[in-house]
Structure 1
Protein backbone atom coordinates (compact mmCIF):
# COMPACT_ATOMS: atom_id res chain seq x y z
CA UNK A 1 0.00 0.00 0.00
CA UNK A 2 1.37 3.44 -0.87
CA UNK A 3 0.59 6.79 0.73
CA UNK A 4 0.46 10.30 -0.68
CA UNK A 5 2.30 13.10 1.06
CA UNK A 6 -0.95 14.75 2.13
CA UNK A 7 -2.10 11.61 3.93
CA UNK A 8 0.86 11.43 6.26
CA UNK A 9 1.48 15.03 7.32
CA UNK A 10 0.79 14.18 10.96
CA UNK A 11 2.74 10.92 11.08
CA UNK A 12 6.16 10.12 12.58
CA UNK A 13 8.99 9.83 10.02
CA UNK A 14 11.48 6.99 10.32
CA UNK A 15 15.21 7.74 10.24
CA UNK A 16 16.59 7.03 6.75
CA UNK A 17 19.27 4.79 8.22
CA UNK A 18 20.50 3.30 11.49
CA UNK A 19 24.21 2.91 10.73
CA UNK A 20 26.76 5.57 9.85
CA UNK A 21 30.31 5.00 8.65
CA UNK A 22 33.07 6.82 10.50
CA UNK A 23 35.95 5.85 8.23
CA UNK A 24 36.17 2.05 8.49
CA UNK A 25 34.16 2.00 11.76
CA UNK A 26 30.36 1.56 11.60
CA UNK A 27 28.48 3.62 14.20
CA UNK A 28 25.27 1.77 15.00
CA UNK A 29 22.34 3.53 16.62
CA UNK A 30 21.13 0.24 18.12
CA UNK A 31 24.40 -0.26 20.01
CA UNK A 32 24.59 3.38 21.09
CA UNK A 33 21.16 3.31 22.74
CA UNK A 34 21.84 -0.05 24.40
CA UNK A 35 25.07 1.35 25.88
CA UNK A 36 23.36 4.57 26.96
CA UNK A 37 20.65 2.60 28.71
CA UNK A 38 23.18 0.42 30.52
CA UNK A 39 25.15 3.44 31.75
CA UNK A 40 22.02 5.16 33.06
CA UNK A 41 20.83 1.96 34.77
CA UNK A 42 24.17 1.53 36.55
CA UNK A 43 24.38 5.17 37.69
CA UNK A 44 20.81 5.22 38.96
CA UNK A 45 21.19 1.80 40.56
CA UNK A 46 24.32 2.96 42.41
CA UNK A 47 22.50 6.01 43.73
CA UNK A 48 19.55 3.97 44.96
CA UNK A 49 21.82 1.32 46.48
CA UNK A 50 23.82 3.88 48.48
CA UNK A 51 20.59 5.59 49.61
CA UNK A 52 19.47 2.24 51.03
CA UNK A 53 22.69 1.87 53.00
CA UNK A 54 24.80 -0.20 50.61
CA UNK A 55 28.42 0.33 49.65
CA UNK A 56 29.22 2.61 46.74
CA UNK A 57 30.58 0.71 43.75
CA UNK A 58 28.69 -2.52 44.44
CA UNK A 59 26.22 -2.08 41.58
CA UNK A 60 29.05 -1.46 39.14
CA UNK A 61 30.75 -4.64 40.32
CA UNK A 62 27.52 -6.59 39.88
CA UNK A 63 27.05 -5.12 36.40
CA UNK A 64 30.45 -6.46 35.34
CA UNK A 65 29.01 -9.94 35.82
CA UNK A 66 25.37 -9.33 34.89
CA UNK A 67 25.80 -7.46 31.58
CA UNK A 68 27.80 -10.13 29.68
CA UNK A 69 25.47 -12.84 30.99
CA UNK A 70 22.47 -10.73 30.00
CA UNK A 71 23.71 -10.09 26.47
CA UNK A 72 24.30 -13.80 25.92
CA UNK A 73 20.93 -14.69 27.42
CA UNK A 74 19.12 -12.07 25.37
CA UNK A 75 20.68 -13.29 22.15
CA UNK A 76 20.02 -16.95 22.94
CA UNK A 77 16.34 -16.25 23.58
CA UNK A 78 16.05 -14.23 20.37
CA UNK A 79 17.71 -16.92 18.26
CA UNK A 80 15.71 -19.72 19.92
CA UNK A 81 12.36 -18.01 19.32
CA UNK A 82 13.20 -16.65 15.85
CA UNK A 83 15.29 -19.60 14.69
CA UNK A 84 13.79 -19.52 11.20
CA UNK A 85 15.62 -16.25 10.51
CA UNK A 86 18.96 -17.98 10.92
CA UNK A 87 18.45 -21.68 10.27
CA UNK A 88 15.62 -21.69 7.76
CA UNK A 89 16.12 -22.45 4.11
CA UNK A 90 18.36 -19.92 2.36
CA UNK A 91 19.57 -18.30 5.61
CA UNK A 92 23.08 -18.19 7.03
CA UNK A 93 23.40 -19.60 10.59
CA UNK A 94 26.45 -17.36 11.14
CA UNK A 95 24.04 -14.41 11.24
CA UNK A 96 22.94 -15.66 14.66
CA UNK A 97 26.22 -14.25 16.00
CA UNK A 98 25.70 -10.79 14.50
CA UNK A 99 24.32 -9.22 17.66
CA UNK A 100 25.19 -5.74 16.38
CA UNK A 101 22.41 -6.06 13.78
CA UNK A 102 19.82 -6.15 16.56
CA UNK A 103 17.93 -8.97 18.19
CA UNK A 104 17.97 -9.26 22.00
CA UNK A 105 15.14 -10.93 23.91
CA UNK A 106 14.55 -9.21 27.23
CA UNK A 107 13.31 -12.44 28.78
CA UNK A 108 16.60 -14.22 28.19
CA UNK A 109 18.59 -11.12 29.12
CA UNK A 110 16.91 -10.81 32.53
CA UNK A 111 17.05 -14.56 33.23
CA UNK A 112 20.72 -15.10 32.45
CA UNK A 113 21.66 -11.62 33.66
CA UNK A 114 20.19 -12.58 37.03
CA UNK A 115 22.56 -15.55 37.13
CA UNK A 116 25.53 -13.23 36.63
CA UNK A 117 24.17 -10.84 39.28
CA UNK A 118 23.69 -13.74 41.71
CA UNK A 119 27.31 -14.80 41.28
CA UNK A 120 28.47 -11.24 41.97
CA UNK A 121 26.19 -10.92 45.01
CA UNK A 122 27.53 -14.15 46.47
CA UNK A 123 31.04 -12.86 46.00
CA UNK A 124 30.23 -9.66 47.89
CA UNK A 125 27.99 -11.25 50.51
CA UNK A 126 24.88 -9.21 49.73
CA UNK A 127 21.34 -10.44 48.98
CA UNK A 128 20.36 -10.56 45.33
CA UNK A 129 16.75 -9.42 45.98
CA UNK A 130 18.01 -6.19 47.55
CA UNK A 131 20.26 -5.50 44.56
CA UNK A 132 17.34 -6.24 42.23
CA UNK A 133 15.15 -3.72 44.09
CA UNK A 134 17.80 -1.00 43.83
CA UNK A 135 18.30 -1.52 40.10
CA UNK A 136 14.69 -2.18 39.03
CA UNK A 137 13.66 1.31 37.83
CA UNK A 138 16.99 1.81 36.07
CA UNK A 139 16.63 -1.48 34.23
CA UNK A 140 13.18 -0.71 32.87
CA UNK A 141 14.27 2.82 31.95
CA UNK A 142 17.19 1.29 30.03
CA UNK A 143 14.77 -0.99 28.19
CA UNK A 144 12.78 2.03 27.06
CA UNK A 145 15.90 3.83 25.86
CA UNK A 146 16.99 0.71 24.00
CA UNK A 147 13.76 0.76 21.97
CA UNK A 148 15.06 3.86 20.20
CA UNK A 149 17.55 1.52 18.55
CA UNK A 150 14.63 -0.38 17.00
CA UNK A 151 13.29 2.93 15.71
CA UNK A 152 16.55 3.66 13.89
CA UNK A 153 16.69 0.09 12.58
CA UNK A 154 13.08 0.46 11.35
CA UNK A 155 12.04 -2.83 12.93
CA UNK A 156 9.54 -4.39 15.35
CA UNK A 157 6.70 -2.10 14.36
CA UNK A 158 2.97 -2.83 14.39
CA UNK A 159 0.22 -3.24 11.88
CA UNK A 160 -0.98 -0.43 9.62
CA UNK A 161 -2.94 2.44 11.17
CA UNK A 162 -4.49 5.77 10.24
CA UNK A 163 -3.83 7.28 13.67
CA UNK A 164 -2.04 10.65 13.59
CA UNK A 165 0.99 9.24 15.42
CA UNK A 166 1.51 6.44 12.91
CA UNK A 167 5.08 5.58 11.96
CA UNK A 168 6.20 5.98 8.35
CA UNK A 169 8.04 2.97 6.92
CA UNK A 170 10.42 3.51 4.01
CA UNK A 171 11.89 1.10 1.52
CA UNK A 172 15.51 0.45 2.44
CA UNK A 173 18.28 -1.18 0.43
CA UNK A 174 21.75 -2.42 1.29
CA UNK A 175 24.20 0.45 0.67
CA UNK A 176 26.73 -1.78 -1.12
CA UNK A 177 24.45 -4.12 -3.02
CA UNK A 178 20.75 -3.37 -3.63
CA UNK A 179 20.18 -7.05 -4.39
CA UNK A 180 21.13 -8.06 -0.84
CA UNK A 181 18.67 -7.93 2.09
CA UNK A 182 18.88 -4.49 3.67
CA UNK A 183 18.88 -5.57 7.33
CA UNK A 184 20.08 -3.10 9.95
CA UNK A 185 22.56 -1.63 7.45
CA UNK A 186 19.79 -0.56 5.07
CA UNK A 187 19.42 2.96 3.75
CA UNK A 188 16.14 4.51 2.60
CA UNK A 189 16.02 5.05 -1.15
CA UNK A 190 13.04 7.35 -0.85
CA UNK A 191 11.29 9.07 2.06
CA UNK A 192 7.85 8.47 0.60
CA UNK A 193 6.36 5.95 3.02
CA UNK A 194 5.34 2.54 1.77
CA UNK A 195 3.22 2.04 4.92
CA UNK A 196 2.12 3.88 8.06
CA UNK A 197 2.09 1.59 11.11
CA UNK A 198 1.71 1.53 14.87
CA UNK A 199 4.98 2.79 16.42
CA UNK A 200 5.23 -0.07 18.90
CA UNK A 201 8.78 1.01 19.77
CA UNK A 202 7.28 4.28 21.06
CA UNK A 203 4.47 2.54 22.93
CA UNK A 204 6.98 0.37 24.76
CA UNK A 205 9.35 3.28 25.41
CA UNK A 206 6.58 5.33 27.06
CA UNK A 207 5.28 2.29 28.95
CA UNK A 208 8.77 1.56 30.32
CA UNK A 209 9.16 5.14 31.51
CA UNK A 210 5.76 4.92 33.23
CA UNK A 211 6.71 1.65 34.93
CA UNK A 212 9.97 3.21 36.18
CA UNK A 213 7.95 6.07 37.72
CA UNK A 214 5.50 3.57 39.27
CA UNK A 215 8.32 1.56 40.87
CA UNK A 216 9.94 4.70 42.32
CA UNK A 217 6.61 5.91 43.72
CA UNK A 218 5.67 2.53 45.22
CA UNK A 219 9.16 2.10 46.67
CA UNK A 220 8.93 5.46 48.44
CA UNK A 221 5.37 4.89 49.60
CA UNK A 222 5.63 1.28 50.79
CA UNK A 223 9.41 0.84 51.37
CA UNK A 224 9.53 -2.27 49.21
CA UNK A 225 12.18 -4.83 49.99
CA UNK A 226 13.14 -8.48 49.47
CA UNK A 227 12.72 -8.23 45.70
CA UNK A 228 9.24 -6.69 45.67
CA UNK A 229 10.29 -3.53 43.78
CA UNK A 230 11.83 -5.76 41.12
CA UNK A 231 8.70 -7.92 41.01
CA UNK A 232 6.56 -4.79 40.56
CA UNK A 233 8.77 -3.77 37.64
CA UNK A 234 8.41 -7.21 36.05
CA UNK A 235 4.62 -7.24 36.53
CA UNK A 236 4.23 -3.73 35.16
CA UNK A 237 6.49 -4.31 32.18
CA UNK A 238 4.92 -7.63 31.17
CA UNK A 239 1.39 -6.16 31.41
CA UNK A 240 2.38 -3.61 28.78
CA UNK A 241 4.40 -6.02 26.69
CA UNK A 242 1.35 -8.30 26.46
CA UNK A 243 -0.80 -5.84 24.53
CA UNK A 244 2.08 -4.29 22.59
CA UNK A 245 3.04 -7.73 21.26
CA UNK A 246 -0.50 -8.18 19.96
CA UNK A 247 0.05 -5.15 17.70
CA UNK A 248 3.34 -6.28 16.19
CA UNK A 249 3.50 -7.90 12.75
CA UNK A 250 7.17 -8.90 12.48
CA UNK A 251 7.82 -12.59 11.99
CA UNK A 252 7.73 -14.56 15.23
CA UNK A 253 7.24 -18.09 16.49
CA UNK A 254 3.56 -18.83 17.24
CA UNK A 255 3.52 -22.12 19.18
CA UNK A 256 -0.12 -22.16 20.36
CA UNK A 257 -3.36 -20.78 18.87
CA UNK A 258 -1.40 -18.72 16.35
CA UNK A 259 -0.32 -16.36 19.15
CA UNK A 260 3.21 -14.95 19.31
CA UNK A 261 5.58 -16.63 21.78
CA UNK A 262 6.27 -13.34 23.55
CA UNK A 263 2.56 -12.94 24.36
CA UNK A 264 2.57 -16.28 26.17
CA UNK A 265 5.86 -15.47 27.87
CA UNK A 266 4.61 -12.08 29.05
CA UNK A 267 1.46 -13.64 30.51
CA UNK A 268 3.37 -16.38 32.35
CA UNK A 269 6.00 -14.01 33.74
CA UNK A 270 3.30 -11.52 34.81
CA UNK A 271 1.53 -14.20 36.87
CA UNK A 272 4.82 -15.26 38.44
CA UNK A 273 5.72 -11.66 39.36
CA UNK A 274 2.31 -11.00 40.92
CA UNK A 275 2.57 -14.23 42.94
CA UNK A 276 6.01 -13.19 44.20
CA UNK A 277 4.70 -9.74 45.18
CA UNK A 278 2.03 -11.33 47.32
CA UNK A 279 4.20 -14.04 48.88
CA UNK A 280 7.18 -11.77 49.59
CA UNK A 281 5.08 -9.61 51.91
CA UNK A 282 5.58 -12.25 54.58
CA UNK A 283 9.34 -11.57 54.59
CA UNK A 284 8.81 -8.33 56.46
CA UNK A 285 10.11 -4.78 55.94
CA UNK A 286 12.95 -3.70 53.72
CA UNK A 287 16.44 -5.05 54.45
CA UNK A 288 18.42 -3.14 57.07
CA UNK A 289 21.51 -1.19 55.91
CA UNK A 290 23.95 -3.56 57.66
CA UNK A 291 22.64 -6.39 55.47
CA UNK A 292 23.46 -4.41 52.33
CA UNK A 293 27.03 -3.55 53.37
CA UNK A 294 28.12 -6.46 55.61
CA UNK A 295 31.85 -5.92 55.19
CA UNK A 296 31.67 -2.21 56.02
CA UNK A 297 29.34 -2.77 58.96
CA UNK A 298 31.56 -5.47 60.45
CA UNK A 299 34.72 -3.41 60.04
CA UNK A 300 33.31 -0.24 61.54
CA UNK A 301 31.74 -2.06 64.46
CA UNK A 302 34.87 -3.97 65.45
CA UNK A 303 37.03 -0.87 65.10
CA UNK A 304 34.70 1.25 67.17
CA UNK A 305 34.04 -1.10 70.07
CA UNK A 306 37.66 -1.51 71.08
CA UNK A 307 38.00 2.04 72.43
CA UNK A 308 34.45 2.56 73.66
CA UNK A 309 33.09 2.31 77.18
CA UNK A 310 29.97 0.26 77.60
CA UNK A 311 27.91 3.34 78.52
CA UNK A 312 28.87 5.28 75.34
CA UNK A 313 26.91 5.16 72.06
CA UNK A 314 28.32 2.92 69.36
CA UNK A 315 29.93 5.18 66.76
CA UNK A 316 29.61 2.47 64.14
CA UNK A 317 26.01 3.55 63.62
CA UNK A 318 27.24 6.93 62.44
CA UNK A 319 29.98 5.36 60.34
CA UNK A 320 27.43 3.22 58.55
CA UNK A 321 25.41 6.27 57.60
CA UNK A 322 22.52 6.08 60.10
CA UNK A 323 22.98 9.74 61.13
CA UNK A 324 21.76 8.83 64.63
CA UNK A 325 18.42 7.70 63.21
CA UNK A 326 16.95 4.22 63.17
CA UNK A 327 17.37 2.47 59.84
CA UNK A 328 13.65 2.70 59.20
CA UNK A 329 13.57 6.49 59.59
CA UNK A 330 16.68 6.93 57.49
CA UNK A 331 15.10 4.90 54.69
CA UNK A 332 12.15 7.28 54.59
CA UNK A 333 14.48 10.02 53.51
CA UNK A 334 16.80 8.06 51.26
CA UNK A 335 14.91 5.04 50.02
CA UNK A 336 13.29 6.39 46.88
CA UNK A 337 16.11 7.73 44.75
Structure 2
Protein backbone atom coordinates (compact mmCIF):
# COMPACT_ATOMS: atom_id res chain seq x y z
CA UNK A 1 0.00 0.00 0.00
CA UNK A 2 1.29 3.45 -0.98
CA UNK A 3 1.87 6.02 1.81
CA UNK A 4 -0.76 8.62 2.66
CA UNK A 5 0.60 12.14 2.85
CA UNK A 6 -0.50 15.56 4.02
CA UNK A 7 2.32 17.59 2.43
CA UNK A 8 0.92 20.93 3.54
CA UNK A 9 1.09 19.75 7.15
CA UNK A 10 4.36 17.84 6.83
CA UNK A 11 2.73 14.48 7.65
CA UNK A 12 3.04 11.07 6.02
CA UNK A 13 1.60 7.71 7.07
CA UNK A 14 2.53 4.20 5.96
CA UNK A 15 -0.33 1.97 7.08
CA UNK A 16 -0.86 -1.63 6.06
CA UNK A 17 -4.63 -2.23 5.75
CA UNK A 18 -4.02 -5.64 7.36
CA UNK A 19 -3.55 -5.15 11.10
CA UNK A 20 -2.51 -8.76 11.76
CA UNK A 21 -3.28 -12.34 10.80
CA UNK A 22 -5.12 -14.87 12.93
CA UNK A 23 -4.58 -18.49 11.84
CA UNK A 24 -3.59 -17.19 8.43
CA UNK A 25 -6.72 -15.05 8.07
CA UNK A 26 -6.04 -11.32 7.52
CA UNK A 27 -7.70 -9.02 10.05
CA UNK A 28 -8.15 -5.57 8.54
CA UNK A 29 -7.88 -2.22 10.27
CA UNK A 30 -11.14 -1.23 8.60
CA UNK A 31 -13.04 -3.96 10.43
CA UNK A 32 -11.29 -3.19 13.72
CA UNK A 33 -12.11 0.52 13.49
CA UNK A 34 -15.75 -0.17 12.59
CA UNK A 35 -15.98 -2.61 15.50
CA UNK A 36 -14.56 -0.05 17.93
CA UNK A 37 -17.12 2.50 16.77
CA UNK A 38 -19.91 -0.06 17.14
CA UNK A 39 -18.86 -1.07 20.66
CA UNK A 40 -18.61 2.54 21.83
CA UNK A 41 -22.05 3.24 20.34
CA UNK A 42 -23.62 0.25 22.14
CA UNK A 43 -21.98 1.12 25.47
CA UNK A 44 -23.14 4.73 25.18
CA UNK A 45 -26.66 3.62 24.24
CA UNK A 46 -26.73 1.18 27.17
CA UNK A 47 -26.00 3.91 29.72
CA UNK A 48 -28.26 6.41 27.99
CA UNK A 49 -31.14 3.91 28.13
CA UNK A 50 -30.67 3.54 31.87
CA UNK A 51 -30.64 7.32 32.27
CA UNK A 52 -34.03 7.75 30.57
CA UNK A 53 -35.63 4.75 32.28
CA UNK A 54 -35.60 2.38 29.31
CA UNK A 55 -34.70 -1.27 29.82
CA UNK A 56 -31.10 -1.55 28.61
CA UNK A 57 -31.85 -5.02 27.23
CA UNK A 58 -33.94 -3.28 24.59
CA UNK A 59 -30.79 -1.60 23.29
CA UNK A 60 -28.97 -4.92 23.09
CA UNK A 61 -31.90 -6.43 21.20
CA UNK A 62 -32.03 -3.49 18.80
CA UNK A 63 -28.28 -3.82 18.20
CA UNK A 64 -28.61 -7.59 17.73
CA UNK A 65 -31.24 -7.20 15.01
CA UNK A 66 -29.99 -3.92 13.63
CA UNK A 67 -26.38 -4.93 12.99
CA UNK A 68 -27.00 -7.70 10.43
CA UNK A 69 -29.78 -5.59 8.92
CA UNK A 70 -27.35 -2.70 8.51
CA UNK A 71 -24.72 -4.90 6.85
CA UNK A 72 -27.25 -6.33 4.40
CA UNK A 73 -28.78 -2.91 3.76
CA UNK A 74 -25.41 -1.28 3.16
CA UNK A 75 -24.49 -3.93 0.62
CA UNK A 76 -27.87 -4.02 -1.17
CA UNK A 77 -27.88 -0.23 -1.48
CA UNK A 78 -24.44 -0.29 -3.08
CA UNK A 79 -25.28 -3.19 -5.39
CA UNK A 80 -28.58 -1.63 -6.46
CA UNK A 81 -26.90 1.54 -7.66
CA UNK A 82 -24.05 -0.40 -9.29
CA UNK A 83 -26.32 -2.93 -10.98
CA UNK A 84 -24.74 -2.38 -14.39
CA UNK A 85 -21.66 -4.17 -13.00
CA UNK A 86 -23.26 -6.71 -10.67
CA UNK A 87 -25.85 -7.99 -13.15
CA UNK A 88 -22.97 -9.59 -15.05
CA UNK A 89 -21.04 -10.54 -11.90
CA UNK A 90 -23.71 -12.00 -9.62
CA UNK A 91 -21.30 -13.82 -7.30
CA UNK A 92 -19.49 -10.54 -6.60
CA UNK A 93 -22.61 -9.39 -4.76
CA UNK A 94 -21.57 -11.64 -1.88
CA UNK A 95 -17.90 -10.57 -1.90
CA UNK A 96 -18.17 -7.91 0.79
CA UNK A 97 -14.42 -8.07 1.45
CA UNK A 98 -13.87 -6.62 -2.02
CA UNK A 99 -15.57 -3.41 -0.88
CA UNK A 100 -18.88 -1.82 -1.66
CA UNK A 101 -20.91 -0.69 1.37
CA UNK A 102 -23.08 2.42 1.65
CA UNK A 103 -23.80 4.11 4.98
CA UNK A 104 -27.26 5.34 3.99
CA UNK A 105 -28.26 1.78 3.13
CA UNK A 106 -27.06 0.69 6.57
CA UNK A 107 -28.97 3.48 8.34
CA UNK A 108 -32.23 2.83 6.48
CA UNK A 109 -32.08 -0.94 7.04
CA UNK A 110 -31.20 -0.57 10.73
CA UNK A 111 -34.02 1.95 11.16
CA UNK A 112 -36.50 -0.43 9.52
CA UNK A 113 -35.48 -3.29 11.81
CA UNK A 114 -35.81 -0.96 14.82
CA UNK A 115 -39.30 0.13 13.78
CA UNK A 116 -40.39 -3.50 13.41
CA UNK A 117 -38.84 -4.48 16.76
CA UNK A 118 -40.46 -1.60 18.64
CA UNK A 119 -43.82 -2.28 17.01
CA UNK A 120 -43.79 -5.98 17.92
CA UNK A 121 -42.50 -5.43 21.47
CA UNK A 122 -44.52 -2.27 22.16
CA UNK A 123 -41.44 -0.18 22.90
CA UNK A 124 -41.36 3.62 22.54
CA UNK A 125 -39.83 4.01 19.06
CA UNK A 126 -38.94 7.70 19.36
CA UNK A 127 -37.14 7.17 22.66
CA UNK A 128 -35.09 4.33 21.17
CA UNK A 129 -34.31 6.41 18.07
CA UNK A 130 -33.05 9.29 20.22
CA UNK A 131 -30.65 6.95 21.98
CA UNK A 132 -29.59 5.33 18.73
CA UNK A 133 -28.89 8.67 17.05
CA UNK A 134 -26.20 9.50 19.60
CA UNK A 135 -24.55 6.13 19.09
CA UNK A 136 -24.78 6.43 15.31
CA UNK A 137 -23.00 9.77 15.19
CA UNK A 138 -20.05 8.74 17.32
CA UNK A 139 -19.78 5.41 15.47
CA UNK A 140 -19.81 7.20 12.11
CA UNK A 141 -17.19 9.69 13.31
CA UNK A 142 -14.89 6.82 14.27
CA UNK A 143 -15.77 4.58 11.33
CA UNK A 144 -14.68 7.11 8.71
CA UNK A 145 -11.08 6.50 9.79
CA UNK A 146 -11.43 3.05 8.30
CA UNK A 147 -11.79 4.84 4.96
CA UNK A 148 -8.56 6.69 5.71
CA UNK A 149 -6.65 3.43 6.18
CA UNK A 150 -8.16 2.00 2.98
CA UNK A 151 -7.46 5.21 1.05
CA UNK A 152 -11.09 5.50 -0.06
CA UNK A 153 -14.02 7.91 0.23
CA UNK A 154 -11.76 10.80 -0.74
CA UNK A 155 -12.66 13.91 -2.70
CA UNK A 156 -11.63 15.68 -5.86
CA UNK A 157 -8.37 17.52 -6.57
CA UNK A 158 -7.36 20.40 -4.31
CA UNK A 159 -4.30 22.42 -3.33
CA UNK A 160 -5.57 23.44 0.10
CA UNK A 161 -3.01 23.31 2.95
CA UNK A 162 -4.71 20.25 4.49
CA UNK A 163 -4.91 18.33 1.20
CA UNK A 164 -4.34 14.58 1.28
CA UNK A 165 -1.88 12.98 -1.14
CA UNK A 166 -2.52 9.41 -2.29
CA UNK A 167 -1.56 7.14 -5.16
CA UNK A 168 -4.22 6.96 -7.87
CA UNK A 169 -4.27 3.58 -9.65
CA UNK A 170 -5.97 4.92 -12.78
CA UNK A 171 -3.59 7.86 -13.18
CA UNK A 172 -0.59 5.81 -11.97
CA UNK A 173 0.55 8.87 -10.07
CA UNK A 174 0.19 10.56 -6.70
CA UNK A 175 -2.65 13.08 -6.54
CA UNK A 176 -3.72 15.70 -4.00
CA UNK A 177 -7.37 15.45 -2.95
CA UNK A 178 -9.89 16.64 -0.38
CA UNK A 179 -9.73 14.39 2.73
CA UNK A 180 -13.52 14.05 2.74
CA UNK A 181 -13.32 11.17 5.22
CA UNK A 182 -11.90 13.71 7.69
CA UNK A 183 -14.53 16.32 6.88
CA UNK A 184 -17.31 13.86 7.63
CA UNK A 185 -15.62 12.50 10.74
CA UNK A 186 -15.26 15.99 12.20
CA UNK A 187 -18.80 16.95 11.14
CA UNK A 188 -20.20 13.89 12.91
CA UNK A 189 -18.09 14.53 16.01
CA UNK A 190 -19.34 18.11 16.30
CA UNK A 191 -22.91 16.89 15.82
CA UNK A 192 -22.44 14.25 18.50
CA UNK A 193 -21.03 16.73 21.02
CA UNK A 194 -23.94 19.10 20.44
CA UNK A 195 -26.63 16.41 20.66
CA UNK A 196 -24.99 14.87 23.73
CA UNK A 197 -25.19 18.28 25.41
CA UNK A 198 -28.73 18.95 24.15
CA UNK A 199 -30.20 15.54 25.05
CA UNK A 200 -31.20 16.70 28.56
CA UNK A 201 -32.83 19.80 27.09
CA UNK A 202 -34.90 18.17 24.33
CA UNK A 203 -38.52 19.23 24.00
CA UNK A 204 -40.00 15.87 22.96
CA UNK A 205 -39.06 12.26 22.31
CA UNK A 206 -37.73 11.93 18.79
CA UNK A 207 -36.17 15.39 18.69
CA UNK A 208 -32.61 14.10 19.01
CA UNK A 209 -33.15 11.63 16.17
CA UNK A 210 -34.69 14.29 13.92
CA UNK A 211 -31.84 16.68 14.69
CA UNK A 212 -29.44 13.87 13.81
CA UNK A 213 -31.15 13.38 10.45
CA UNK A 214 -31.05 17.12 9.81
CA UNK A 215 -27.42 17.58 10.86
CA UNK A 216 -26.04 14.53 9.10
CA UNK A 217 -28.08 15.24 5.98
CA UNK A 218 -26.76 18.80 5.71
CA UNK A 219 -23.17 17.66 6.16
CA UNK A 220 -23.48 14.71 3.83
CA UNK A 221 -25.07 16.84 1.09
CA UNK A 222 -22.16 19.28 1.27
CA UNK A 223 -19.39 16.68 1.56
CA UNK A 224 -20.85 14.36 -1.08
CA UNK A 225 -20.47 17.17 -3.61
CA UNK A 226 -16.69 16.85 -3.19
CA UNK A 227 -16.51 13.05 -3.31
CA UNK A 228 -14.76 11.39 -6.23
CA UNK A 229 -16.47 8.01 -5.78
CA UNK A 230 -20.17 8.92 -5.55
CA UNK A 231 -22.91 6.54 -6.62
CA UNK A 232 -25.10 8.11 -9.32
CA UNK A 233 -28.70 7.86 -10.42
CA UNK A 234 -28.60 9.44 -13.84
CA UNK A 235 -26.86 12.77 -13.30
CA UNK A 236 -27.71 12.92 -9.59
CA UNK A 237 -25.48 11.81 -6.74
CA UNK A 238 -27.60 9.29 -4.83
CA UNK A 239 -26.35 10.30 -1.38
CA UNK A 240 -27.13 13.94 -2.10
CA UNK A 241 -30.68 13.01 -3.09
CA UNK A 242 -31.13 10.95 0.09
CA UNK A 243 -29.54 13.70 2.18
CA UNK A 244 -31.87 16.32 0.69
CA UNK A 245 -34.94 14.19 1.41
CA UNK A 246 -33.65 13.52 4.94
CA UNK A 247 -33.15 17.22 5.65
CA UNK A 248 -36.56 18.12 4.22
CA UNK A 249 -38.42 15.44 6.21
CA UNK A 250 -36.56 15.98 9.49
CA UNK A 251 -36.91 19.77 9.32
CA UNK A 252 -40.62 19.44 8.58
CA UNK A 253 -41.20 17.00 11.44
CA UNK A 254 -39.18 19.14 13.85
CA UNK A 255 -41.33 22.17 13.05
CA UNK A 256 -44.54 20.14 13.31
CA UNK A 257 -43.70 18.47 16.63
CA UNK A 258 -42.35 21.66 18.18
CA UNK A 259 -45.69 23.31 17.45
CA UNK A 260 -47.87 20.38 18.50
CA UNK A 261 -46.06 18.71 21.40
CA UNK A 262 -45.64 20.08 24.88
CA UNK A 263 -42.14 20.50 26.23
CA UNK A 264 -41.02 18.39 29.20
TM-score, normalisation: structure 2? 0.88
User: Cα–Cα, structure 1 residues 284 and 67, in superposed 2: closer, same or farther, change >3 Å?
Assistant: farther
CA distances 1:207-265 after superposition (whole Å, capped 9, x unpaired): 000111121222223x243311101001000100011011111253142xx33121121
Tell me, in whole angstroms, the C-alpha distance in 2 between the residues paired with 1:42 and 1:283: 29
2:112 corresponds to which residue? 115
2:174 corresponds to which residue? 194
Tell me, in whole angstroms, the C-alpha distance in 2 between the residues paired with 1:60 and 1:104: 24
Counting only pairs closer than 5 Å after superposition, residues 21-40 of structure 1 correspond to structure 2 as 22=21, 23-40=23-40
User: Cα–Cα, structure 1 residues 146 and 236, in superposed 2: closer, same or farther, change >3 Å?
Assistant: same
* Displacement after TM superposition at 1:30 (Å): 1.8
* Displacement after TM superposition at 1:197 (Å): 0.7
1:246 corresponds to which residue? 225
Q: Is the 8 A contact 1:14 1:152 kept in 2?
A: no
TM-score, normalisation: structure 1? 0.70
1:306 corresponds to which residue? none
Tell me, in whole angstroms, the C-alpha distance in 2 between the residues paired with 1:231 and 1:101: 34
User: Cα–Cα, structure 1 residues 81 and 12, in superposed 2: closer, same or farther, change >3 Å?
Assistant: farther
* Displacement after TM superposition at 1:17 (Å): 3.3
Gaps of 5+ in 2: none
1:161 corresponds to which residue? 158
Q: Is the 8 A contact 2:203 2:262 kept in 1?
A: no
User: Cα–Cα, structure 1 residues 276 and 14, in superposed 2: closer, same or farther, change >3 Å?
Assistant: farther
Higher helix share: 2
Tell me, in whole angstroms, the C-alpha distance in 1 between the residues paired with 2:117 and 2:253: 23
Asked if 1:54 corresponds to 2:54, the answer is yes
* Displacement after TM superposition at 1:99 (Å): 2.0
2:97 corresponds to which residue? 100
* Residue of 177, 190, 196 corresponding to 1:210: 190
Aligned length: 257
Root mean square deviation of aligned Cα: 2.4
Q: Is the 8 A contact 2:224 2:230 kept in 1?
A: no
